[in-house]
């Protein structure tokens, strides 16, 4: 299992410089997957998804 945490200081990047309108759209484009639900514990939302900047707890910044 990979553990992640919120990445500090990333709010200055409001959107990707590669043309996508949001970081969630960027993730979908680059993974080939569609964000369909909230992945947080006890979250059952399927609408109004926004995503978040995270980094590995044990590892690098990738």
Average pLDDT for residues 20-48, to the nearest whole number?
82
Average pLDDT for residues 35-53, to the nearest whole number?
75
- CA neighbor of 8 nearest in space, from 59, 52, 48, 41: 52
Q: Greater confidence, 48 or 3?
A: 3
Q: Is residue 52 part of a domain?
A: yes
Q: Is residue 42 part of a domain?
A: yes
- CA neighbor of 33 nearest in space, from 49, 16, 57: 49
Supply the pTM of this predicted model.
0.59
pLDDT of res. 62 = 61
Range of the domain at 42: 1-57
Tokens of 10: 């990333």
Q: Is residue 62 part of a domain?
A: no
Average pLDDT for residues 10-37, to the nearest whole number?
84
């Amino acid at each position: 299992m990979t553990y992640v945490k919120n990445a500090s200081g990333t709010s200055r990047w409001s959107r990707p410089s590669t043309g996508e309108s949001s970081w969630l759209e960027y993730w979908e484009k680059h993974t080939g997957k569609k964000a369909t639900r909230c992945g947080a514990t006890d979250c059952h939302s399927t609408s109004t998804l926004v995503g978040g900047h995270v980094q590995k707890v044990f590892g690098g910044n990738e």
